[in-house]
Each structure stands twice: as structure tokens, then as C-alpha cells.
Amino acid sequence: MLKQISQRRAAVQARTFQPAVIHHCNRFRRTHAVATEAPVASTSASVVEAPSFRANLDFKFIKENVELVATNCKNRFSTADPRLVAALYDDFVALKTQVDSLRAERNENSNAMKGKLDADKRALLIARGQELKDQLAAVEERLTRAEATLQREGQRVPNLTHPDVPLGGEEAAAVLREVGAQRQFSFTPKDHVTLAEALDLVDFESAAEVSGQKFYYLRNAGALLELALVNYAFNKVVSRGFTPIMTPDLVKASVLEKCGFQPRGAGTQIYAVEGSPLCLTGTAEVPLGGIYMDRILTEDQLPIRMAAFGHCFRTEAGAAGMAGKGLYRVHQFSKVEMFVLSTPAQSEALHQELIDIEAGMFEELGLHFKVLDMPSGDLGAPAYRKFDVEAWMPGLQRYGEISSASNCTDYQSRRLNIRYRPAGGKDVGGADAAATASSGSKKAGKKASSGGSGGKTEFVHTLNATACAVPRMIVAILENFQQEDGSVVVPLPLRPYLGGMEVIHPPAAVRKV
């Protein structure tokens, strides 16, 4: 299990890029809504764009481990510059020291004026006070610019990387586990688009007219199959102790950024609402993470397991070709997402728990799939380690991603400001505040963070995992369970959610709604 974040960081070994000797797999090139680095900011002394929020970044760690962090950035193909961040931090500290010194001198000068003084002495103190005021204003302005630049550059630095993560690009993914085998057909298998259209499960043509390309209508058994998959996944995760939640589809851009996503700019995967701070979320991970933003939890509340049904919206910028055919890559889809808050000591075991839940469901559904340890160059900025699940899709003759599970350690919590108080620490605000916080009150959490004599707090770890991405699951089911006559056998675990339907047959007569 992971130790406290400071201990974990000290233990991570810097590694230079070497080709990984591992199992390779035939995979789609993905352009999903991964979290990205913030754009490079201007470091001009006159104009510095202030970041939208202040992250609780560990600049001291970066300064003291700059080569480790720089190597990590190189391994992750990141353009962040830890050496620049370390230099900016030195500048910030120097300016902060100067500001503190000037404030102390200003206060000393003000106190000297309180006694009975002759006119000349008072005039000198007044003049000195004005000088200090002017000097302080100038240095404070420089400090504000320095902090903005430091935050902007610091926020571009990705998370550290688990020492077992393979180094390299997507092709270096390591196969950790393989379940089942490719089905051998006595006929040439069709792809899911051909199957779904023949069974009247999907209508791409009408959706293109109404909404544009990469949208779809699910119809008849297709619509019922989505509901069956969602209910099946929800029942599975709730039975494992996850709290079921229905989340908003619109979130503030600032919350997206705090979770590590870049909501605006070239190449963004996020739909932003013009003239509004709101964006359509690409995953329920974001609104779930926001629930505990600016909160201080107690250690006995952790881990907190949540599962949400949400609609996901993604621009899929740059996606094209066979990998994006039909339902595989779309602009809107439904998903059941798991999200966990934990202590640092719990997070590694919880990461394994999440991937085991996913694998258990897919195995029960009868899919052939691989669990992959994703390489350093394929990790989004927040992820310390990420496992992907890729199922065999015989119609497309490829493995395709159907799920993932990520441990983001304290990357998101430092931005969302989610902390916990280790056992034995005195709760801020006394027993009443602690009781209110345990009931889930947002106000209590903010009150707890406002001050007091409580013990030291630490940042929680966050983890996320996909229980069911509906369109990808439909692709896998249709292509793997198709029959020669074009019908599709319904996996046994889904039949209770489909009114006992065993086989999806072609309709006797296709008619539009």
C-alpha cells in the first residue's frame, strides 16, 4: 500500500526512458477526454495571466527533487518545466520574505508614532511610513505576478508515476491479465453497425440530421439494453459498498480544471457553454470529485466510495477512421462511474479493488478481454497509475477499450482542496463541528478549514474507474454474441433486466417511431 504522500514521493526512483520488454497488444489509438496540462502561460513581467484557481502544490518537493520531477515529465512526454518552477519558487520565496520584512518595518514605524513626539520626529516617521507604503505596494505587485506565474507553471507539472508503470508510448502497454479467448465463428462475423442497423437497435441517419455526426438514437432492444447495462452495473457496485448518485451534466469550468481537465483552448475534449462558466462534463468523475471540494474529513470517514450514472459529452477532436466507427467513439454517451476518496495508505489496494470489480463484471458477461498497465506516455496528467480493460471486438477485428481505473493520488485533491485529519488529530471547531461534518454538511467542511487549533491535515487520494461505458459495452456484446442469422444472444446476467429476453431477433417489420 502507499505510504503518506511525502514518504511515497521520496521512495519513487527517477528513471530514464528505456524500451519496455513486455507483451504488446493490437490497440486502437484513442483520443478520449484525458486530463491535460494547463497551457503555457506568459512569464512577462508586465502581463501575467492569473490561473483560475490556486492549487495547493508542493513546490518545496519540486525544488528539492527537481531532477526526479524532470525525469518524470520526460517519461510522460510532458512539456512542463520543473526547473523553471523551482526557479520561480525561489523568486516567490525571496519576494515573500521581502514583503514580510517591509510589513514588519511598517508596523514598527506605525508603533513608533503612538507616543508623544516632537514635530520633527513625527514628520520623519510619517515620511518613512509613506516610503514603506510605496515600497510595499511595489513589491506586493511583483509578488502577485510571481505567484500567478508560479501557479500557472506549477499546475502544468503532471503527477508522479508508479515505479511499476512501463515507460514509453501507448505501444508499451503491459498485459497484466487476460480473460477468456477469442470466439471462433463458423461464419464471417459482422461489425456492430451492420448488426445494430439490421436489428433496428440504432439510428445514425436521423441523429446525424438532428444533432450531427457521431450522435445516435438507440431504439427498441437497443434502448432497453442501455438501461439493462446501467442497472446491472449499478447493482454490482452498490453491492460492493458504493453510494449511488445521479450527478449534474453541467459543471463549472473551474471544477473541471481542478480535476485536471482543460475545458477551453485548442484540442479540448470539453464542450463549453458560450457566455457561461459552465461546461458539459465528459465524465461523472468531475461532479463526484466536486462534492467534497473544500472539505476536511476525518480519517474514519475514509474510504468514501461513490458511483454515479452520468451523460458524457466529448468533442472527440482529432478522432477519425475505423477506430471511431459507429458506437465506438461518439459525442454523447451514458456511463456508470466509480469514484473513491481514501487515505494515501489505502489507495493502492483500492485501485486493485476497482479493477477487480470491472474485470469481474466483464468476465461474468462472457467477454474476452485484457487488463493493461498503461505506460507513462499514455497517462493523463492526474494519473499516478492507470489500468485499462480492452475487450476483443470480432466485427472490428481489434481489441477496444471498454473501461479504465486510475489512481490519481493527491493530484486532484490538492486542486479541489479535499483534506482529512488523521486519527488522533484534534478536530477543528470541537465536537459539534465534527458531528456536523460527519453528517455530510458542506458548511461544516468549510468551517473546519477556516482555522482553529486542530491537528495537521493531509490531502486525500482520489481514484476513478468506469463500471460501464454503455456504447462500448453494446459494441462488445453485439459483436461477440452474434449468430449466423443476424440475431444476438443476450448475456445471461442481463436477461433479468430485459424482461427475460434471451435473444435479440431482427424485427418482423421495421417502422420508424
Q: 380 is written with which cell numbers?
A: 493523463
Q: Annotated binding residue at 348?
A: no
Query: Which distant-in-sequence residues (6+ apart) come within 8 Å of 346 by Cβ?
Result: 1, 2, 302, 303, 461
Q: Is 337 annotated as a binding residue?
A: yes
53 is annotated as contributing to ligand binding:
no
Q: Cα-flanking dihedrals φ and ψ of residue 11, to 5°?
A: -85, -20
Residues 6+ away with beta carbon under 8 Å from 19? 168, 172
Ligand-binding site membership of 44 (annotated) = no
R_g of the chain, CA atoms, integer Å: 27
465 grid coordinates? 474507474
Determine contact, residues 462/408, Cβ cutoff 8 Å.
yes
Q: Is the dihedral of CA 363, 364, 366, 367 positive or negative?
A: negative
**CA-CA distances (angstroms) from residue 265 to 36, 39, 54, 415?**
11, 8, 20, 20
Question: Grid coordinates representing 35?
Answer: 486530463
Nearest to 273 by CA among 247, 249, 308, 257: 249
Find out whether 283 is annotated in a ligand binding site.
yes
CA distance 318 to 349: 35
407 is in an annotated binding site: no
> Are the CB atoms for 347 and 339 separated by under 8 Å?
no
| Residues near 506 by beta carbon (within 8 Å), at least 6 away in sequence | 198, 199, 200, 485, 486, 487
Helical (H) or strand (E) element with 430: helix 430-438
Is 404 annotated among the ligand-binding residues? yes
Listed in sequence order, the DSSP H helices in 155-295 are: 192-198, 204-210, 221-239, 253-258, 285-291
Query: What are the backbone dihedrals phi and psi of residue 285, each rounded to the nearest 5 degrees, phi first?
Result: -50, -40
Does residue 412 have a known ligand-binding role? no
251 is in an annotated binding site: no
Query: Cell numbers of 251, please?
Result: 459543471
Binding residues: 283, 314-316, 330-333, 337, 401-404, 464
Binding residues for ATP: 314-316, 330-333, 401-404
Binding residues for L-serine: 283, 314, 337, 464
